A = this chain, B = another copy of it.
Amino acid sequence: MKKLTISAIAELAGVSKATVSRVLNGYPHISQELREQVEAIIAETGYQPNQVARSLASDRSNIIGLVIPKGTDAVFLDPYFPALTNGITQVSNNNSLTLALFIFHSEQEGHDTIKSIVNTGLLDGLILTTDRVTLDRTTDPFVPQLIERDMPFVMIGRPDNLQDDIIFIDTDNAEGGYLATRHLIDLGYQRIATISSKHNSAGDDRLAGYRKALDESDIAIDWALVAYGDYTLESGYKGMKKLLPQQPDAVFVASDTMALGALRAIQEVGLKVPHDIAIVGYDDLPPAIQATPQLTTVRQDVETLGGMAVEMLLDAIRGDKSGIRHVFLSSKLIIRDSCGAVQKQA
């Protein structure tokens, strides 16, 4: 079967290429008669315009890129990226966008690729994710290039150095930290510790939420009850080890993975959760349910996050400056067994 081109269709329909193009793109001023004539031929032949030629002529590829700047490890240690990707593809599909995936396995690779992405004009826009685990991400190396080249992009995760003209979406980490801590306070715990993480906005914000909840209840912050980890299970374990001598009766841990480590530390010294120490985690990953006891945790709707990112990017590509440029998505507290709420009610 030979390839169908717009010229072939034009000939078959007895009109010009221009007319076929106009029908294809739903232009207004076309007589009903011709339009139907052309549409009939298109339906009959199953013609679909060549995407590449279209891109060249219209300077729009309908391809957006998803940038994940990290190698092996983190990408699949937790379902964050898969969930995100899922949300993104869903909305992309609905908008007839093609998603190009860029995973960088080294900094050099990222550098080179971004450069060529920007220069070769294949993409209409980019969604940038940041490494959630990296402790120092003060400077995203790509952003200046993108801005200089006028490449529309949206960031997932609040950039550390907040610039007003950068479009981003994030979960409301401060709210999440607040909800978790508030919940523990409401349950009557007195010495509420936390394991957070330094040097990244998510950790900072969750800690800020923790402090706000304490403040609200006129509980002075006790820095001996604050430990830091790096989102790994080990760091949660070590953090809890450090906190245990302070005899907290509850702990808000800024990630489920760390919470699992903390849980292990607690159980190792013979204490019971939630009876002796209550735990609230963060993320609501599958292991949270599999743990014993099941983890009370803060759930972020990562899929929605991804979907909204695509929509915001589309606005930016269309040049719609009126669109929403900064979004903080609400989080939700999922109450299970590790916080003791269930037991207290019973």
Which residue of B3, B76, B85, B113 is within 8 Å of A101 (Cβ)?
B85
Given A48-B119, A99-B101, 9 more contacts at CB 8 Å? A3-B121, A52-B55, A56-B56, A75-B82, A86-B103, A89-B103, A93-B104, A98-B122, A100-B100
- Per DSSP, chain A at the interface is helix
- Residue contact B89 to A51, C-beta cutoff 8 Å: no
Can you list 27 A-B pairs with a CB-CB distance of less than 8 A? A1-B149, A46-B119, A48-B115, A48-B119, A49-B120, A50-B56, A51-B121, A52-B52, A52-B55, A52-B120, A53-B56, A56-B56, A63-B100, A72-B86, A72-B303, A75-B85, A76-B83, A77-B286, A81-B82, A89-B103, A93-B103, A93-B105, A93-B109, A98-B100, A98-B122, A99-B100, A287-B290
A52-B55, A56-B52 are contacts. A101–B120 as well, Cβ < 8 Å? no
- Contacting B at CB under 8 A, from A33-48, are 46, 48
Q: Which residues of B contact A14 (CB under 8 A)?
A: none
Closest to A80 in B: B76
> How far apart are the CA atoms of A55 and B54 in the complex, in Å?
11
A82-B76, A120-B50, A122-B51 are contacts. A101–B103 as well, Cβ < 8 Å? no
- Residue contact B75 to A93, C-beta cutoff 8 Å: no
Chain A positions within 8 Å of B, measured between CB atoms, are 1, 3, 46, 48-53, 55-56, 61, 63, 66, 71-72, 75-77, 79, 81-83, 85-86, 89-90, 93, 98-105, 109, 113, 115-116, 119-122, 148-149, 286-287, 290, 303
- Residue contact A76 to B75, C-beta cutoff 8 Å: no
> How far apart are the CA atoms of A52 and B54 in the complex, in Å?
9
Q: Which residues of B contact A119 (CB under 8 A)?
A: 46, 48
Which of A51, A105, A290 is packed against the most chain B CB atoms within 10 Å? A51
- Residue contact B82 to A105, C-beta cutoff 8 Å: no
- Residue contact A120 to B51, C-beta cutoff 8 Å: yes
- Residue contact B113 to A93, C-beta cutoff 8 Å: yes
> How far apart are the CA atoms of A49 and B109 in the complex, in Å?
19
Which residue of B56, B75, B102, B116 is within 8 Å of A86 (Cβ)?
B75
> How far apart are the CA atoms of A1 and B77 in the complex, in Å?
42
Q: Which residues of B contact A71 (CB under 8 A)?
A: 86
- Residue contact A86 to B76, C-beta cutoff 8 Å: yes
- With both chains docked as a complex, state the minimum distance between the C-beta of A47 and any C-beta of chain B, in angstroms: 8
Closest to A115 in B: B48
- With both chains docked as a complex, state the minimum distance between the C-beta of A310 and any C-beta of chain B, in angstroms: 13
> How far apart are the CA atoms of A91 and B81 in the complex, in Å?
20
> How far apart are the CA atoms of A119 and B122 in the complex, in Å?
19
Q: Which residues of B contact A77 (CB under 8 A)?
A: 79, 286
Which of A1, A63, A101, A287 is packed against the most chain B CB atoms within 10 Å? A101
Q: Which residues of B contact A122 (CB under 8 A)?
A: 51-52, 98
- Residue contact A102 to B89, C-beta cutoff 8 Å: yes
Q: Which residues of B contact A90 (CB under 8 A)?
A: 103, 105
- With both chains docked as a complex, state the minimum distance between the C-beta of A68 and any C-beta of chain B, in angstroms: 9
